């Protein structure tokens, strides 16, 4: 089946973008990664690369159009395919199929999105559909010229069943939509394995306190990012991503940091973390978090991570299983640091310990590599020397 080309999700609050220019014409031979078209947001112009190698089979959205993120804009024919292989638009028979016989709105996004040819809807019906959150492209039209009209939306609503206990119906769009899609994609394609281990973070805590005494305020995340940047170059198979059926191993370390914002989860990227001092890491991370929360991140600040850190310690969580941030290979989840009795040199002491959860995509690496990486990281966290070096 031909590969679909989607308008990219651009993070932040970008719902639609302008498809500014097609760099290639229909029929052009392209390789994965070639710039295929450019998009504009109010913030930036970006080139979007071809997701596959083959022939640009059909452009669905002409240049100059506004398109929602993740809208299919073209099909790429893989070797041996022709335009006949492009899935045809949903036929009326399909729409009148069993799922819709009762007027039910199809909710599975893949069933008919979009039809290729434009689906017309009356202004009145569109207003109602948007208010009620009905995916009108999927509703069987009965209006003049085959347009979706108000009664079609009403029929879809009636078929929703009992909603008397419903508080509100929120559209799965914007950032929520992007997150939903990426999570679903990750869950559907990744072969996740999560390794958990507990590390002694006493020195980490002491180190942070010592820095504070010197007037340098850093967060645990800053310390962990800095440590990761130090450890990852020794385990580059985890500093990798899967693209076009190839494992891309990166020599530079770009660390994503999951940030909880009012708009939803975002992961701004600390670029070239392996070349930065702790002070630089702390300063830059503070800026990224602030921008993420303010909604002022540039789209490129959300792209290109090679590994991601997610930390729920501040919420009192001990351990969890993170989901891999595609197309990256692995993600580290960090829990809270808490005081526990621990055996040290045969004696019970009160130590500060932290759970680490490393989820990796088993398609890219095996458990041994991942375990050795985690071990190395634990060693870094527990080593007084690592921290002394870091201070200087």
Q: Does 118 bind another protein (CB under 8 A)?
A: no
Q: Does 133 bind another protein (CB under 8 A)?
A: no
Beta strands in 152-262, from DSSP E residues, in sequence order: 192-200, 240-243, 246-249, 255-257, 259-261
Q: Does 122 bind another protein (CB under 8 A)?
A: yes
Q: Which is nearer to another protein, 140 or 305 (CB)?
A: 140
Q: Which is nearer to another protein, 99 or 147 (CB)?
A: 147
Number of helices and strands (H, E) in the chain?
Answer: 10, 18
Q: Does 56 bind another protein (CB under 8 A)?
A: no
If you compute the radius of gyration of the chain from its CA atoms, what whole number of angstroms results? 25
Using the rule CB under 8 A, which residue among 45, 92, 127, 304 binds another protein? Answer: 127
Using the rule CB under 8 A, which residue among 83, 91, 131, 142 binds another protein? Answer: 142
Q: Does 143 bind another protein (CB under 8 A)?
A: yes
Q: Does 67 bind another protein (CB under 8 A)?
A: no
**For 306, how many CA atoms within 13 A lie in the half-sphere containing its CB?**
24
Using the rule CB under 8 A, which residue among 150, 173, 274, 382 binds another protein? Answer: 150
Window of 82-90, 119-127, 204-212, 218-226 that interacts with another protein by CB under 8 A:
119-127
- The CB density around residue 191, as the number of other CB atoms within 10 Å, is 10
Q: Does 144 bind another protein (CB under 8 A)?
A: yes
Using the rule CB under 8 A, which residue among 62, 64, 80, 123 binds another protein? Answer: 123
* Least spacing, CB of residue 147 vs another protein, in Å: 8
Helix (H, G, I), strand (E, B) or coil at 58: strand
Q: Which is nearer to another protein, 133 or 264 (CB)?
A: 133
Residue 11 zone, left/alpha/beta (φ > 0; ψ -120 to 50; rest): left
Nearest C-alpha neighbor of 243 from the set 26, 10, 37, 49: 49
* Least spacing, CB of residue 173 vs another protein, in Å: 20
**How many residues does this entry show for the chain?**
392
* DSSP string covering 292-352: HHHT---GGGGS--SEEEEE-GGGT---------TTBSEEEEEEEEEEEEEEETTEEEEEE
Q: Which residues contact 229 (CB under 8 A, 6 or more apart)?
A: 253, 255, 273, 274, 276, 281
Q: Does 103 bind another protein (CB under 8 A)?
A: no
Window of 41-49, 147-155, 261-269, 363-371 that interacts with another protein by CB under 8 A:
147-155
Q: Does 139 bind another protein (CB under 8 A)?
A: no
Q: Does 163 bind another protein (CB under 8 A)?
A: no
- CA atoms of 134 and 34, how far apart (whole Å): 37
Quick check: 363 and 242 in contact, CB under 8 A? Answer: yes
* Least spacing, CB of residue 13 vs another protein, in Å: 24
Using the rule CB under 8 A, which residue among 36, 77, 125, 259 binds another protein? Answer: 125
Helix axes 367-382, 220-231, angle to 10 degrees: 130
Q: Which is nearer to another protein, 86 or 149 (CB)?
A: 149
* Least spacing, CB of residue 96 vs another protein, in Å: 15
Q: Looking up tokens 């290639």, which residue turns up?
A: 24
* Least spacing, CB of residue 150 vs another protein, in Å: 5
Q: Does 131 bind another protein (CB under 8 A)?
A: no
**For 194, how many CA atoms within 13 A lie in the half-sphere containing its CB?**
14
Exposed e or buried b for every residue in 24-63, given b needs 16+ CB within 10 A? beeeeebebeeebbbbebebeebebbbbbbbbbbbbbbee
Q: Does 147 bind another protein (CB under 8 A)?
A: yes
Window of 125-133, 183-191, 234-242, 274-282 that interacts with another protein by CB under 8 A:
125-133
Size of the site for another protein (CB under 8 A): 13
Q: Which is nearer to another protein, 127 or 234 (CB)?
A: 127
Q: Which is nearer to another protein, 79 or 144 (CB)?
A: 144
Q: Looking up tokens 């973008």, which residue turns up?
A: 17
- CA atoms of 240 and 372, how far apart (whole Å): 16
Q: Which is nearer to another protein, 31 or 124 (CB)?
A: 124
Q: Which residues bind to another protein, rule: CB under 8 A?
A: 122-127, 142-145, 147, 149-150
């Amino acid at each position: 089946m031909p590969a679909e080309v989607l308008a990219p999700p651009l993070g932040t609050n970008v719902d639609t973008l302008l498809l500014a220019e097609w760099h290639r014409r229909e029929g052009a031979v392209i390789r994965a990664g070639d710039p295929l078209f450019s998009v504009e947001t109010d913030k930036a112009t970006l080139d979007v690369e071809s997701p596959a190698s083959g022939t640009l089979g059909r452009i669905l959205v002409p240049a100059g159009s506004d398109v929602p993120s993740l809208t299919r804009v073209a099909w790429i024919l893989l070797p041996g395919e022709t335009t006949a292989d492009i899935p045809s638009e949903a036929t009326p028979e399909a729409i009148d199929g069993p799922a819709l016989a009762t007027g039910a709105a199809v909710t599975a996004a893949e069933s008919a999105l979009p039809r290729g040819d434009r689906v017309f809807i009356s202004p009145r019906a569109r207003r109602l559909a948007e208010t009620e959150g009905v995916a009108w492209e999927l509703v069987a039209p009965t209006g003049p010229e085959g347009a979706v009209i108000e009664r079609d939306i009403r029929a879809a609503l009636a078929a929703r069943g009992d909603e008397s206990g419903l508080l509100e119906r929120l559209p799965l769009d914007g950032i929520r939509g992007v997150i939903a899609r990426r999570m679903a994609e990750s869950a559907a394609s990744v072969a996740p394995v999560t390794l958990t281990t507990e590390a002694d973070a006493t020195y980490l805590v002491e180190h942070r306190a010592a820095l504070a005494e010197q007037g340098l305020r850093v967060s645990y995340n800053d310390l962990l990012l800095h440590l990761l940047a130090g450890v990852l170059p020794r385990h580059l198979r985890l500093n990798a991503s899967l693209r076009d059926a190839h494992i891309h191993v990166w020599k530079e370390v770009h660390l994503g940091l999951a940030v909880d914002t009012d708009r939803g989860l975002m992961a701004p990227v600390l670029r070239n973390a392996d070349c930065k001092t702790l002070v630089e890491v702390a300063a830059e991370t503070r800026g990224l978090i602030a921008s993420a929360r303010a909604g002022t991140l540039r789209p490129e600040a959300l792209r290109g991570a090679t590994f991601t850190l997610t930390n729920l310690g501040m919420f009192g969580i001990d351990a969890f299983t993170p989901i891999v941030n595609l197309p990256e290979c692995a993600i580290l989840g960090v829990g809270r640091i808490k005081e526990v009795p621990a055996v040290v040199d045969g004696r019970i002491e009160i130590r500060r310990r932290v759970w680490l959860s490393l989820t990796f995509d088993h398609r890219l690496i095996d458990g041994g590599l991942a375990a050795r990486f985690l071990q190395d990281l634990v060693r870094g966290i527990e080593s007084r020397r690592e921290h002394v070096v870091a201070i200087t």
